[in-house]
Structure formats: C-alpha cells, structure tokens
C-alpha cells in the first residue's frame, strides 16, 4: 500500500446518481488525504436504513451524485498531515459522528455530539477545504455522513475513525460502526433499564434488535417488541423479545395496549423506527413517575412531535441519541473487545452476504424487509 500514498487512487465505487435509481458500480478517482484526514481501504461495508432514506431522498434533502455508505470496516491506506494517532495498516471502523477530543462535547462525559464532527447529513464535502475527494472524469462526487464507504477507498476525517484490535474479524465488527452500537447503546447508555424492568422496543430492524439485545444484557425481565411488520416477530424472539405487539391488530392505540399489558406503562421505551407516530407512542407508553423513552429513528425532515405536556408533568422523560451515546474513538475499541470476549452476539445480525458488484441486491433485501444486516464484500 506504500506505493499509493500521496497519489490519486482509481478504484470501484457505487455511485448514487439519482434518487431511487440503482447505484452504478464504476471507476472513480479518490484524491489523497489532506491535513487531519486518512484514506481507508474499505474491506466490508453494510447497508443501514439511513443509506436507503438518503438514496430515496423522499423525506431528506436530495444530494446527488453521491457515494453513500457509513457502516464499514477497513484498513488505513495513508494518512494526511497532522495525523498522529493512525498509521497505514491500522484496522479501523469509520463512524458517521466523530470525536475531535478537544471541544466541550468531547471533554464532557455526557455528550458524543462533537462540535466539529457531529453527524451532519447535509454536509457533502470535506470539512478542511470544502472540496470532495471523489471524482469521475473531473466531476465531483459528493460525500455522505463523512464516511462514504460504498467505495473501495474513501477519505475521512481522522476524528471519525476508531482504531481497533487487529485480531477482530472485520466482516463481523463492521456492524458496530453504526447499527449495533446505535441500538445497543440507546438501551444500555441512555435508557439504562434496571434489572427486572420492562422495556418496549418500537421497530425490530437491526437497530431495534440491537436495542433488545441491550435490554437482555441489562437484565430486563420483559422485552416487548412493537412492529407493524409481523415478519419481524420470529427473528425478534431470537433476540430476546418476550412479547410482540402489532399495532395493526388492535383497535385501541398501542400506548393503551402496552399500558394494559404492564399495569400502567413500561419502564423504558426505545424507538427505532424513524416514524413520528411511533416516536409519540414511545413517550406516551412509558409509566408515569419514572418512565423514560429514547428516540433513535431518523425522522422525516418535516416531522413534528405532538403530545400533551401532561406526560412530562406526570414525570415521564423523553430523550434522544445518536450512535447510542458512544464516543467513537474512546468507546468503540472496548465494544470490539466485548465482542471478542464473547459478550455480544454480532453474528445473529448478519443475515446476508453479497459481493460489491451485487450491492443493489442489498438495497432490494432491505426494502423487502428480508435482511437485518447484509454485509457487502468489497473484493467481489
């Protein structure tokens, strides 16, 4: 890899040229990393619903042509000026929300919303110089979430890269780069259910199943999965859900159904749908006096949260989180070690594997609700 440092690399990337149209796997040019940036060789990437939302661009600001992708694992190819904590050959996970380690947020124990590198889906260029590092015949191709991992090589800010144990299997720990940590952390770091408590999980995709895994590890006695799609229920049982509710099968609002099942409300609710109704239901279904609801789903850009303020007076708490409140550089290496020690079962999240040239199949599987995580192998 030494030979490529400082030079433009020509490689394959899956370019999203238009909303909702299949990605085109084609040759792109990837410029060398500038100050505080690193260029990564991506080995595995997987598809998360956030990629699909920005590709469909129905509820989000359209930005095209763009290289999507943010859940991935790879190896550092070269580093730009000023990068001291990463070197070529390091095994890494890129993360869509970074950690500069210098701002007030990074210095606070409570926040992972780095001032400089927090998630910004509207940003389409590098922070340093406002330019893209990708091009096709001189035409700039925009970045996505600071990661753009649907490319054999990508350039990211060094603050968005977690260096991990080189023994870790990258085709598995790749899911820690977004989906798993988002859901798992939302439960264990934010909702913080006590042992024996009742937890409702809205949305049983990868993020919700990871949230359920968090509830199981935290010792919840009841984990109630809520989803409009009953196809998700069999899988959800394997992830520790003890009861399952399909709001469509009830005439009463699901908040009331849950209140009846739990003698007044659940202790914790974690919303992992992106649907505004589910977000409101998650707050309203928690028990008064102590219930906490945590929002994780990415809402439609015009969504508004409407509820009666009496819920707050009745001492229900509403919170939200990006990336499960994990600080990517500080916390992720330890999550990888938890997996290596056998405490986390990442394998059960990986339902499909495809080659890079078949990346559109991963989109089809997700749109049909058939996959939890589909790992895309960049070498194929």
Site residues (CB under 6 A) for ligand NAD? 48-50, 53, 178-179, 182, 202-208, 226-229, 232, 247, 272-275, 277-278, 296-298, 321-323
| Residues 351, 369: Cα–Cα separation, whole Å | 11
For 122, the 3-state DSSP assignment is coil
DSSP per-residue codes, 325-375: G--HHHHHHHHHHHHHTT-S--GGGEEEEEEGGGHHHHHHHHHTT--SEEE
Q: Would you call 241 a catalytic residue per the annotation?
A: no
Q: Determine whether 50 is an active site residue.
A: yes
Q: Which among ligand NAD, Zn ion, none contacts residue 202 (Cβ within 5 to 8 A by kind)?
A: ligand NAD
Residues in 74-103 that interact with Zn ion by CB under 5 A: 100, 103
Q: Which CB sits closer to ligand NAD, 60 or 135?
A: 60
70 is catalytic: yes
**Annotated catalytic residue within 37, 39, 49, 66:** 49
Choice between 233 and 290, CB closer to ligand NAD: 233
Could you tell me how many residues of this chain bind Zn ion (CB under 5 A)? 4
Q: Considering only CA atoms, which of 294, 119, 125, 141 is closest in space to residue 218?
A: 294
Which position among 66, 271, 373, 374 bears the catalytic label? 373
Residue 377 appears among annotated catalytic residues = no
The residue with its CB nearest to Zn ion is 114
Least CB distance to ligand NAD at residue 5 (A): 32
- Give per-residue burial for 127-163: e unless 16+ CB within 10 Å, then b: beeeebbbebeeeebbbbbbbbbbbbbbbbbbbbbbb
User: Does the annotation count 49 as an active-site position?
Assistant: yes
CB nearest ligand NAD: which residue? 205
3 state SS of 237: helix
Partner residues linked to 44 by β-bridges: 73, 377
Is 48 one of the catalytic residues? yes
Catalytic residue, from 39, 66, 70, 311: name it.
Answer: 70
Q: Which residue number, 27 or 115, has a Cβ lying nearer to Zn ion?
A: 115
d(CA 161, CA 335): 14
Question: What is the per-residue DSSP string for 126-185?
Answer: -TTTS--SEEETTEEEB-STTT--SBSEEEEEGGGEEE--TTS-HHHHGGGGTHHHHHHH
Site string for Zn ion, 175-214 (x = CB under 5 A): ----------------------------------------
Cis peptide preceding 65, ω within 30 of 0: yes
Catalytic residue (one of 37, 39, 45, 48): 48
- 8 Å CB contact between 12 and 153: no
118 included as an active-site residue: yes
Cβ-in-10-Å burial (0-12, 13-18, 19+) of 98 comes to buried
Task: Report the nearest approach of ligand NAD to the CB of residue 203 (Å).
Answer: 3
Task: Pick between residue 146 and residue 274 the one whose CB is nearest to ligand NAD.
Answer: 274
Q: Is 18 considered catalytic here?
A: no
226 binds, among Zn ion, ligand NAD, none (CB under 5 to 8 A by kind): ligand NAD
Per the annotation, the verdict on 373 as an active-site residue is yes
Residue number, 34 or 182, with CB nearest to ligand NAD: 182
Nearest residue (CB) to ligand NAD, 49 versus 66: 49
Residue 147's φ and ψ, nearest 5 degrees, are -125, -50
133 catalytic? Reply is: no
Interaction between residue 114 and Zn ion (CB under 5 A):
yes
Smallest CA-to-CA distance from 326 within 143, 93, 167, 72 is with 93
Q: Which of the residues are catalytic? A: 48-50, 70-71, 100, 103, 106, 114, 118, 178, 373
- The residues binding Zn ion (CB under 5 A) are 100, 103, 106, 114
């Amino acid at each position: 890899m030494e030979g490529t440092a400082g030079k433009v690399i020509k490689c394959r990337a899956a370019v999203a040229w238009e909303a909702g149209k299949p990605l085109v796997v084609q040759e792109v040019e990837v410029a060398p990393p500038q100050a505080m940036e690193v260029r990564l060789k991506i080995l595995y990437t997987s598809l998360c619903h956030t990629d699909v939302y920005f590709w469909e661009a129905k509820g989000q600001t359209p930005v095209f042509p763009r290289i999507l992708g943010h859940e991935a694992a790879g190896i550092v190819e070269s580093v730009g000026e000023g990068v001291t904590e990463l070197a070529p050959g390091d095994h890494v996970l890129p993360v869509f929300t970074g950690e500069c380690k210098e701002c007030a947020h990074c210095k606070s124990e409570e926040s992972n919303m780095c001032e400089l590198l927090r998630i910004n889906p509207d940003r389409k260029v590098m922070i340093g110089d406002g330019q893209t590092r990708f091009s096709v015949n001189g035409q700039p191709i925009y970045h996505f979430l600071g990661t753009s991992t649907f490319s054999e090589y990508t350039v990211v800010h060094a603050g968005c890269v977690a260096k991990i144990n080189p023994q870790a299997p990258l085709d598995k720990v790749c899911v820690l780069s977004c989906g798993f940590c988002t859901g798992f952390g939302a439960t264990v770091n934010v909702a913080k259910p006590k042992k024996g408590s009742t937890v409702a999980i809205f949305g049983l995709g990868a993020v919700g199943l990871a949230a359920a895994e968090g509830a199981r590890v935290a010792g919840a006695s009841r984990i109630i999965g809520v989803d409009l799609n009953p196809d998700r229920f069999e899988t959800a049982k394997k992830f520790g859900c003890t009861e399952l509710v399909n709001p469509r099968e009830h005439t009463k609002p699901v908040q009331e159904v849950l209140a009846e099942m739990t003698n007044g409300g659940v202790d914790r609710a974690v919303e992992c749908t992106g649907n505004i109704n589910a977000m409101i239901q998650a707050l309203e279904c928690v028990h008064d006096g102590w219930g906490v609801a945590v929002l994780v789903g990415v809402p439609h850009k015009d969504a508004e949260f409407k509820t009666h303020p009496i819920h707050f007076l009745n001492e229900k708490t509403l919170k939200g989180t990006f990336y499960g409140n994990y600080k990517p550089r500080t916390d992720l290496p330890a999550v990888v070690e938890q997996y290596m020690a056998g405490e986390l079962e990442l394998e059960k999240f990986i339902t499909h594997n495809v080659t890079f040239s078949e990346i559109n199949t991963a989109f089809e599987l997700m749109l049909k609700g058939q996959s939890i995580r589909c790992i895309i192998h960049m070498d194929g």
